[in-house]
Amino acid sequence: MATDAAGDAGGDLTRLHYVGVALAAVTGAIHLVLGAGALA
């Protein structure tokens, strides 16, 4: 039971980690595009 709960919590943390990475990638891409647009 406790192991299942820990496994679920770990899965949630992993999901949050990937969501954070994806958001960081999107934000970085937007900044690159805006930066390029400002330079153009």
- The burial class, CB within 10 Å (0-12 / 13-18 / 19+), for 17 is exposed
> Residue 21: which residues within 8 A CB-CB, separation 6 or more?
none
Q: Which pLDDT belongs to residue 31?
A: 95
* Per-residue tokens: 18: 């990937």
Q: Which pLDDT belongs to residue 2?
A: 67
Q: How far is CA 11 from the centre of its chain?
A: 14
Q: Which residue has the higher pLDDT, 37 or 28?
A: 28
The residue type found at 7 is: G
Q: Which pLDDT belongs to residue 1?
A: 58
Does residue 9 carry a pLDDT above 90? no
Q: Is the model's pTM score more than 0.75? A: no
* Per-residue tokens: 11: 């899965």
Structural element, H or E, at residue 1: none
Does residue 28 carry a pLDDT above 90? yes
* Per-residue tokens: 17: 């980690």
